[in-house]
Amino acid sequence: MTLPSPRLALACAEMSDWRWTPKAAVTVMALFLAFQLTVPAILLFTENETSQRFGWQMFSHAVPDPGFAVVTAAGERKVTLDEVLAGPRADLPLDELVPPFLCTAVPGAIRVTWIKGSYEC
């Protein structure tokens, strides 16, 4: 298999010939480890009721069910997370994101309510 562009082929060949100097290797190792230990540690000690991205917080918290409901002139309708999200996750700030969306997505929406609060459309 050959590359379509000679310039690209040359760039790939140069990259394959790249050799790390000891100083560069040690620097990259130190930066990598510092990042990999610091970021999850900071997120671990950040007070939060839900998971945090980039912190390896896998299944540490359940995906919450805020119990969203849309109030229209016709009455109140419960809305499940699967109806509005492509992929519900425990690290999504649902209270901030879902109510404004429901106000625009549901015709005639007056208010969005959930267990912890309500949002006027």
Partner 1 sequence: MLTWLLKPLEPGPLNRTRIMIGAAAAARSLIALPLLLRLSDPQILKTPVFDWMPTPSRPLAFVLVAIWLGSACLLALGWKVHLSGLTLLSALAFMLALDLQTYANHLYLMAWVVLLLVVSDAGAGSRFDPSQRPVARWPVMLIMMQVSVVYLFSALTKINESFLSGQVLAGVLRDGLIPFPDSLRTPAFLGVVAGGAVVTEVFLAFALWLPRLRLIAFVVGALFHLTVALLMADTLELGVFAMLMLAIYPLFRSTLPPARSHAVAAPALTSSRGLP
Residue with tokens 């879902």: 98
Residue 113 CA to residue 116 CA, distance in Å, equals: 8
Chosen residue from 56, 78, 110, 116 binding partner 1 by CB under 8 A: 56
Near partner 1 in 83-102, by CB under 8 A: 84-89, 91-92, 97-98, 101
Residue 19 CA to residue 3 CA, distance in Å, equals: 23
Contacts of residue 120, defined as CB under 8 A and 6 or more positions apart, other chains included, come to: 110, 111
**4 is a site residue for partner 1 (CB under 8 A):** no
**42 is a site residue for partner 1 (CB under 8 A):** no
CB 18 to partner 1: min, Å = 8
**116 is a site residue for partner 1 (CB under 8 A):** no
Buried b (16+ CB within 10 A) or exposed e, 34-64: eeeeeeeeebeeeeeebbbeebebeeeeebb
Stretch that binds partner 1, among 25-33, 69-77, 109-117 (CB under 8 A): 25-33
The footprint of partner 1 (CB under 8 A) covers 1, 3, 8, 12, 15-16, 18, 20, 22, 25-26, 28-29, 32-33, 36-37, 40-41, 44, 51, 53-63, 84-89, 91-92, 97-98, 101, 105
